[in-house]
Structure 1
């Protein structure tokens, strides 16, 4: 079946587009349409594009780490291309109207690339180009990149493990209907605010154009410190919040479980 450009552009709803970062709305979505046209008519599935983007983001991080302007420039371009591919897999899924069981897995796994690989690559780029940090202290820029990468990745693992445990607990208590993501629709909720900050300041937002600015001004070090601090702070906030929520959920669930056991007697 031959898909047209109209099939692709019309598949994107206004609500879906409005929930994206301003950077994505302004140009990434538009750039993703011709790329989607190419891949979908080559027979690629959404999951295949997600897997392909894994390789792209890894290569981008390696190129960013090399002390050569052309390599770093290629790394910046590929990192931005990864974000285009991140839209392409969703475009393909919507156009083909395919519901996959593991689509979120492939998409999320690919999405961890910028948080881990590219943050480390950013540390290496800062080490090679910084003129603000004295030579004897430049080695710490690599360490800062590693701390930022670990903080962000670890934070997301905690988030996923928390959701898995809540799901398992509600399944035991026969409360699966109680699991909802509606809080991200509430503009006053923490989930909504966190989502908006992450989208507009994170890798789908300011991060991408900032890469170009940092490349041409040799200020990867400033960008690195800002994002590593953001990732570390986010990690600490998530740890405190989820530990608090987990303790509360544990106490409430134990009480409900005890009540269920007493009724069965």
Structure 2
């Protein structure tokens, strides 16, 4: 089946687009349409594109680690292309109207690339180009990049583990149908605020144009420090919040189990 360019552009709803960062709305989505046209008509699936984006972000990070402007420039370009591919797999899924059971897995695996590979690569790039830190202490920038990567990935691991336990508990309690994402739509909730900050400041937002600025001004060190601080603070906030939520949920769940046990008797 031959898909037209209109099939691709019309598949994106206004609500879906509005949930994206300004950077994605301004150019990434638009750039993804012709790329989607090529891939979808070549027979690629959404999962295949996700795997390709995983490979792209890995090599982008490797290139950023070389002390060579050309390699770094290629790394920045490929990192931005990763974001385009991150939109392409979604475009293909919507156009083909195919619900894959493991699509979220492939998408998440590819999405963790910038949080790990790229953050470490920022540390190495900062090591090569820093003007804030003297050469004898620059090795610490690599360590900072590693700390930022671990904090970011660990934060998301905590988030996913909490959700897995929460869903499992809700299923046991017979309340699985009550699980919603209303908290991300409540503008006063922590989840909504965190989503907005991550959307516009994270890898799908300011991060991408900032890479170009850092490259041409030799300020990878400043970018690294800002994002590592953001990742570490986010990690601490998520851990504190979810530990508190888990404790409160455990108390409520145990109380419900006792009530249910009495009723069953």
Q: TM-score, normalised by structure 2?
A: 0.99
State the alpha-carbon separation in 2 of the partners of residues 16 and 173 from structure 1: 32
State the alpha-carbon separation in 1 of the partners of residues 139 and 224 from structure 2: 13
Taking the TM superposition and a 5 Å limit, the aligned residue runs for 1:18-97 are 18-97=18-97
Deviations 1:81-136 (A, max 9, x none): 00000000000000001111111111111101000000000000000011111111
Q: Which runs of 5+ in 2 are unaligned?
A: none
Shifted more, 184-193 versus 30-39: the winner is 184-193
Deviation at 1:78, TM superposition (A): 0.4
Deviation at 1:6, TM superposition (A): 0.4
Deviation at 1:191, TM superposition (A): 1.0
Q: What residue in structure 2 maps to residue 173 of structure 1?
A: 173
State the alpha-carbon separation in 1 of the partners of residues 129 and 22 from structure 2: 29
SS of corresponding position for 2:44:
coil
Q: What residue in structure 2 maps to residue 163 of structure 1?
A: 163
State the alpha-carbon separation in 2 of the partners of residues 81 and 31 from structure 1: 9
State the alpha-carbon separation in 1 of the partners of residues 11 and 184 from structure 2: 23
Q: What residue in structure 2 maps to residue 232 of structure 1?
A: 232
SS of corresponding position for 1:109:
helix
Taking the TM superposition and a 5 Å limit, the aligned residue runs for 1:1-265 are 1-265=1-265
Deviation at 1:258, TM superposition (A): 1.1
Q: TM-score, normalised by structure 1?
A: 0.99
State the alpha-carbon separation in 2 of the partners of residues 75 and 151 from structure 1: 23
Deviation at 1:36, TM superposition (A): 0.1
Deviations 1:51-72 (A, max 9, x none): 1111000000111011111111
State the alpha-carbon separation in 2 of the partners of residues 70 and 28 from structure 1: 23
Deviation at 1:264, TM superposition (A): 1.4
Q: Which runs of 5+ in 1 are unaligned?
A: none
State the alpha-carbon separation in 1 of the partners of residues 28 and 206 from structure 2: 12
Shifted more, 132-141 versus 27-36: the winner is 132-141
Aligned CA RMSD, in angstroms, stands at 0.6
Structure 1 consecutive aligned stretches of length 4 or more whose deviation exceeds 2 Å: none
Deviation at 1:140, TM superposition (A): 0.4
Residues matched between the structures, number: 265
